[in-house]
Amino acid sequence: MTQTGTIYDAITNLPVPVATVAIYNNGNPTGEGSVADVSGNFSVYISDPNSYMRISSIGYTTAQVSPNGGSEAIYLNPNMNELPGVTVTAQAPTSTTSTTQATNNPSWAEMKPLLIGVLIIFVVGYLIAQSHDTPRRATR
């Protein structure tokens, strides 16, 4: 049987986008399922009529619903678990060396090949751009 429906937030009555609809039988997932679209609509094929749907989405309590073979409005309750607070502390650096000084200062010999490569790429790009901007005469 095919089950269709729309998943809503139980408090705001707004659709819950991309909620997961998983099919279970005897407490085990069957491998069948679907994902709701951005409007909360879903359609899922259920091969065993004794199966049930588990609908879940981040920020909501998972709902368990028996399929009715038609279209159904399903309401998920928001799960408002507050995370514990975090305390951030800072400590002054203990080192006396300057942190603004570069620790790896490459030499000209090390930078030269890189700069030449960049220059070649720039010149080639410039020449290509110029060749496309040149007006052309029509030929017969």
- In this prediction the pTM is 0.57
From residue 14, alpha-carbon distances to 9, 17, 36, 41, 59 in Å are 5, 9, 13, 12, 14
Query: What tens digit of pLDDT does each residue of 28-46 get?
Result: 999 999 999 999 999 999 9
Q: Show the CA angle centred on residue 25, arms to residues 9 and 27, nearest 5°.
A: 80
pLDDT band at 132 (very low <50, low <70, confident <90, very high): low
Q: What is the mean pLDDT of residues 74-89?
A: 85
Q: CA 58, 64, 67, 70 torsion: positive or negative?
A: negative
Instruction: Tell me whether residue 9 is exposed, middle or buried, using C-beta atoms within 10 angstroms of its C-beta: 0 to 12, 13 to 18, 19 or more.
Output: middle
**Strand pairing of 63-65 and 52-56?**
antiparallel
Task: Say which residue the tokens 């609908």 belong to.
Answer: 55
- The C-alpha atoms of residue 54 and residue 32 are separated, in whole angstroms, by 11
Q: Rounded distance, CA 43 to CA 7, Å? A: 11
The whole-number average pLDDT for the span 49-75 is: 92
Contact 3, 44 (CB under 8 A): yes
d(CA 45, CA 127): 59
Structural domain 2-76, CATH architecture = Sandwich (2.60)
* pLDDT tens-digit series, residues 84-129: 888 888 887 776 655 555 556 777 777 777 788 888 887 777 777 7
Q: Give residue 122's pLDDT.
A: 76
